[in-house]
Amino acid sequence: MSVTVFQNARIVDPSRGLDEVGAILVEGKKIAAAGAAAHNQGTPEGAKVIDCGGKTIVPGLVDGRVFIGEPGAEHRETIASASRAAAAGGVTSLVMMPDTDPVIDDIALVEFVLRTARDTALVNVFPAAAITKGLEGREMTEFGLLREAGAVAFTDGRHSIANALVMRRALTYARDFGAVVAHETLDRDLGAGGVMNEGLFASWLGLPGMPREAETIPLERDLALARLTGGAYHAAKISTGLAAAAVARAKADGADVTAGVSINHLSLNENDVGEYRTFFKLSPPLRAEDDRLAMIEALRDGTIDIVVSSHDPQDVDTKRLPFADAADGAIGLETLLGAALRLHHNGDVPLIRLIEVLSTAPARLFGLPGGTLKPGAPADLAVLDLDEPWIVREADIRSRSKNTCFEGARLQGRVLRTLVAGRTVFEA
């Protein structure tokens, strides 16, 4: 069995609350030791030694919300191209959304994704299956069979379930299989075709506004149903202070509730839309600055459990349109870490908490291996230079689609090397 030692590194492992100088010993596909202890163990004979020169090693990121175009829209992204982007971004596992064509609402699709990932992907790809058939918000999918086939969670992806009874039954039934129901909430009637955050800025641009309540009213409903059913509910992508407060109340009541936020809603606000820049058209829309600050606070105080890229590749055919007609979404696998590290560099969120919400917590939430550097865990890790500055350039993007919100952005901190199951899948 091949043995590699990463020496002279700062080891940050939120799963053990560890942030110390040491080494990591990788044996085959697994971590044999990590931390100061590993450093003291010395180097086994025949081991390959890599001197990290004081750089940082973290468990590979686990991205809990990734949209991929395969099957159905391979021109936007394939499982292989998404995995290359992930590897470059230090993401070693991703949860793939069921919004494909056909929809991942059947075991055959789960098997297709797992097989394609095994044959073509550089990182671990875990499919999430639809809650309802065809993402139509009506009939439940086969939670048991899908789970056995390998679906790690249930979500209707970009779609929001309008019917409270459907949601109640999904939460109740999923509980029998220990499955998380992840939901992005949007009341389409109240949203009234809104395409950006409701407020002065949208009004001047002449764009229909999306009120915060279009997100929070169905969220409050879901949280009530989570209390009622005892089911595991994950608010997939909240964007407002109101939503964070609702989640905090449900948690205080003891409901089995978690929440996620996209890196975009931590990094950007409605002003970034500028002059109808469609790459900044997201769902939920980028909010006002006070909501962005509320997201950071909720991340710090534990109301928000995970940070996702919400990677959503869109091509020119869906983005080079008038703003209201353009598709929602932005890519993010390659910039997730760099953008998140801004919060570390400006002192908003401690590094170990950031790695927790990017890796350890999502792995735990979705029951995935990884997210830890404990001995015996898969050797999924990233070697980082926390300080190296770089500029995001379209030409460097590995994703098949280029719809990034960070074009030209100056980020600090980048991935030097990514390992998945002991194998180097990316090296800067």
Partner 1 sequence: MIDAAPPPLFPHRHLLGIRDLSPADIKSLLDRADAAVAISRRHEKKTSALRGRTQINLFYEASTRTQSSFELAGKRLGADVMNMSVASSSVKKGETLIDTAMTLNAMRPDILIIRHASAGAAALLAQKVGCSVVNAGDGTHEHPTQALLDALTIRRAKGRLAGLTVAICGDILHSRVARSNILLLNAMGAFVRVAAPSTLLPAGIRQMSVEVFPTMADALRGADVVMMLRLQRERMAGAFVPSVREYFRYFGLDAEKLKVAREDALVMHPGPMNRGVEIASEIADGPQSAIQEQVEMGVAVRMAVMEALLDPRRNPADGVAA
The nearer residue to partner 1, 36 or 192, going by C-beta atoms, is 192
- Min CB(29)–partner 1 separation in Å: 48
- Min CB(209)–partner 1 separation in Å: 5
The secondary structure element, H or E, covering residue 65 is strand 61-66
CB 93 within 8 A of CB 124: yes
The nearer residue to partner 1, 226 or 326, going by C-beta atoms, is 326
Tokens at 321, concatenated: 């349109």
3-state secondary structure of 254: coil
The nearer residue to partner 1, 124 or 401, going by C-beta atoms, is 401
Give the torsion sign (CA, 106, 111, 114, 116): negative
Q: CA 94 from chain center: how many Å?
A: 7
Bridge partners for 3 per DSSP? 27
Rounded Cα gap, residues 353 and 403, in angstroms: 28
DSSP 265-292: HHH--GGGGTTT-GGG--SSPP--HHHH
- Min CB(285)–partner 1 separation in Å: 13
- Min CB(281)–partner 1 separation in Å: 11
Rounded Cα gap, residues 397 and 418, in angstroms: 17
CB 40 within 8 A of CB 27: no
The nearer residue to partner 1, 228 or 316, going by C-beta atoms, is 316
- Min CB(317)–partner 1 separation in Å: 9
- Min CB(137)–partner 1 separation in Å: 24
Binding region for partner 1 (CB under 8 A): 198-207, 209, 275-276, 320-325
From residue 150, how far is each of 62, 106, 163, 242, 370 by CA, in Å? 17, 11, 27, 35, 16
Nearest of 198, 350, 206, 356 to residue 288 by alpha carbon: 198
The nearer residue to partner 1, 240 or 360, going by C-beta atoms, is 240
Nearest of 61, 58, 16, 11 to residue 306 by alpha carbon: 61
- If you compute the radius of gyration of the chain from its CA atoms, what whole number of angstroms results? 21
The nearer residue to partner 1, 108 or 192, going by C-beta atoms, is 192
The nearer residue to partner 1, 236 or 273, going by C-beta atoms, is 273
The nearer residue to partner 1, 320 or 410, going by C-beta atoms, is 320
The nearer residue to partner 1, 196 or 421, going by C-beta atoms, is 196
- Min CB(192)–partner 1 separation in Å: 10
- Min CB(369)–partner 1 separation in Å: 44
- Min CB(122)–partner 1 separation in Å: 35
Work out the number of other CB atoms within 10 angstroms of the CB of residue 254. Answer: 9
Bridge partners for 5 per DSSP? 25, 49
